[in-house]
Amino acid sequence: MKEDKYCPNCGKRLSFFYMKPNCPACGVDLLRYDYEGRLQRDAEQAAREVESLWRFVRKIDKARLVERHCLKKGRPLPWEDAPAEEKREG
Ligand SMILES: [Zn+2]
């Protein structure tokens, strides 16, 4: 199966054997264009990773707030099934 190449800038279909670095239609530097596109995708991927990490940290942060609140009110933590208090007293 032959894979067609397309110009990433103007979308012109290029021959599989087209090896010149510039698009014949718009003259864009194909190698460099793709390189920049890859960099862009890498940056987006990195941003997504940082965002998910940030959300995770925020969740931990909220968990700490809930934990502190529960300790202050003497309530069992919402994510603990068996209340620690009963075990202590019984
Ligand atoms: Zn082009």
pLDDT tens digits for range 53-80: 889 988 888 888 888 888 898 888 776 6
Q: What angle do CA 71, 72, 78 make, to 5 degrees?
A: 45
Residue 30 Cα to ligand 1 midpoint, Å, equals 8
Tens digit of pLDDT for each residue in 11-27? Answer: 999 888 888 889 999 99
Residue 45 Cα to ligand 1 midpoint, Å, equals 26
Question: What is the chain's length?
Answer: 90
Residue 18 Cα to ligand 1 midpoint, Å, equals 13
Q: Provide the β-strand partners of residue 14.
A: 5
Residue 34 Cα to ligand 1 midpoint, Å, equals 12
Q: What is the pTM of this model?
A: 0.40
